[in-house]
């Protein structure tokens, strides 16, 4: 089977797909990816062929001021950025690659609407790999009209819901209990454990704002660093490829600042994760049974943060107004209350009970 894989965003959109792609290769299938230009080297470093399609959301490292988190603005960005812009360009790009590569199946992330449309135009099945943990970010009232405009432009009938996204197979790499019960998985949706779970047993606090929103965070990195370093426990902060750790100046011996460290390397040493609440960072946190402090900036982070509060997984802070003292206070409160870690361990154990990536491959094979 030839599986053309596509994703419309950055690492948080690729990482949930990579283990399934590796398992597909191990099962004897042929895999290639099509993605934004700035992710091509990351995909190739992971061992897959990759070609460019669609716009690039990386931004080249341009720094932006911190904006007050706004759910309506994020809905608008999803509609205009991922549907009217990215999906339009990616549908054309994926169709072009597919004509020469001739896939049997297209596997794409949850917001790669252009790849879904390309699969439908080609008359082949597609697999949607979810990239939003809470499940309530991508909604028909937000993107339906724009998505139907694109469908009609490719000769496809409009739809009164988001049936297109779950027409064939949906794979979720997130604990079922974390998903908002108001947005259940479709009947053909399956939860997949794409990475092993583990018990973290270290003393480190890990702080990250991811690889996209880190450049849109103004002075937030510095404020949080100041608050967490005052706790005088081991602290690891990652700032992304476009920010120089040296800009934060000399640090005490218990503080480490790097551009990037794989989650699998740092999380087993931790006892708390402070992050923006992106689905990738949050799932890594849960996979290691760790509590969290979230400082959401945008996209799915806002609904993920709401879900964390509902479940008692952690505390949420306001990115614009939070002070170093408030950061330290929230971190200390979560560390001092074992109920937060108990919730995370429960979700971790739920995820551990799910079938693994080779099972996902068998489901994909069933589409052929």
C-alpha distances out from residue 314 to 70, 77, 286, 343, Å: 21, 27, 11, 9
Q: Is 175 found in the same domain as 209? A: no
What pLDDT, on a 0 to 100 scale, did the predictor assign at position 215? 64
93 and 68 in one domain?
yes
- pTM (2 decimals)? 0.93
Please write the tens of the pLDDT for every residue from 267-279: 999 999 999 999 9
pLDDT tens per residue, range 97-147 = 999 999 999 999 999 999 999 999 999 999 999 999 999 999 999 999 999
Q: Which two tokens stand for residue 63?
A: 């720094």
Residue at token pair 């697999």: 127
Note whether 210 and 287 are same-domain residues.
Answer: yes
Q: Are residues 228 and 171 part of one domain?
A: no
Q: Residue 142 is encoded by which pair of tokens?
A: 């937000």
Same domain? 228 vs 280: yes
Contact status, residue 268 vs residue 288, Cβ threshold 8 Å: yes
Count of the separate structural domains present in the chain: 2
- What CATH number is associated with residue 242? 3.40.50.2000
Measured in degrees and rounded to the nearest 5, phi and psi for residue 293 equal -120, 125
What are the φ/ψ torsions at residue 150 (nearest 5 degrees)?
-70, -40
Tell me: do 93 and 158 sit in the same domain.
yes
| Per-residue model confidence as pLDDT tens digits over 169-225 | 999 999 999 999 999 999 999 999 999 999 999 999 999 998 777 767 778 999 999
Average pLDDT, the chain: 94
Contact, 89 vs 69, CB < 8 A? Answer: no
State which residues form the domain around 166. 2-195+354-365
Do residues 97 and 111 share a domain? Answer: yes
Rounded Cα gap, residues 315 and 333, in angstroms: 9
pLDDT band, residue 62 (cuts 50/70/90): confident
Are 253 and 293 in a shared domain?
yes
89 lies in the same domain as 128: yes
339 and 267 housed in the same domain: yes
Average confidence (pLDDT) over 282-298: 95
How much is the pLDDT for 210? 82
For residues 86 and 77, give the distance between their C-alpha atoms in angstroms, rounded to a whole number: 11
Packed helices 357-365 and 18-26: angle between N→C axes, nearest 10 degrees: 70
Question: Do 335 and 228 sit in the same domain of this protein?
Answer: yes
Containing H/E element for 116? helix 113-122
Are 173 and 311 part of one and the same domain? no
Q: Is the pLDDT of residue 232 over 70?
A: yes
């Amino acid at each position: 089977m030839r599986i053309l894989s596509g994703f419309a965003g950055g690492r948080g959109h690729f990482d949930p797909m990579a283990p399934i792609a590796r398992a597909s290769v191990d099962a004897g299938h042929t895999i290639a990816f099509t993605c934004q230009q700035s992710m091509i080297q990351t995909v190739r470093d992971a061992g897959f062929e990759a070609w460019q399609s669609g716009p690039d959301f990386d931004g080249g490292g341009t720094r932006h001021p911190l904006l007050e988190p706004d759910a309506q603005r994020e809905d608008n960005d999803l509609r205009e950025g991922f549907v009217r812009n990215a999906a339009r360009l990616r549908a054309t790009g994926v169709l072009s690659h597919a004509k020469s590569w001739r896939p049997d199946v297209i596997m794409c992330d949850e917001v790669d609407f252009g790849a879904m449309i390309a699969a439908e135009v080609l008359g082949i099945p597609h697999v949607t790999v979810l990239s939003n943990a809470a499940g309530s970010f991508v909604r028909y009232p937000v993107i339906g009209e724009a998505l139907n405009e694109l469908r009609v432009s490719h000769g496809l009938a409009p739809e009164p819901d988001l049936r297109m996204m779950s027409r064939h197979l949906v794979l979720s790499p997130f604990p079922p209990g974390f998903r908002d019960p108001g947005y259940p998985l479709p009947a053909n949706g399956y939860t997949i454990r794409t990475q092993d779970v583990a018990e973290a047993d270290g003393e480190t606090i890990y702080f990250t704002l991811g690889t996209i929103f880190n450049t849109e965070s103004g002075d937030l990195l510095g404020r949080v660093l100041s608050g967490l370093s005052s706790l005088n426990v081991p602290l690891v902060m990652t700032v992304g490829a476009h920010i120089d750790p040296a800009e934060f100046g000399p640090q005490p011996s218990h503080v480490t600042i790097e551009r990037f460290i794989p989650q699998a390397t740092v999380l087993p040493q931790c006892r708390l994760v402070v992050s923006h609440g992106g689905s990738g960072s949050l799932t890594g946190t849960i996979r290691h049974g760790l509590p969290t402090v979230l400082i959401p900036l945008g996209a799915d982070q806002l609904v993920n943060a709401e879900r964390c509060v509902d479940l008692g997984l952690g505390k949420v802070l306001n990115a614009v107004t939070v002070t170093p003292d408030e950061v330290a206070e929230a971190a200390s409160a979560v560390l001092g209350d074992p109920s937060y870690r108990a919730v995370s361990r429960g979700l971790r154990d739920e995820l551990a009970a799910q079938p693994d990536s080779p099972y996902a491959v068998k489901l994909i094979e069933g589409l052929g």
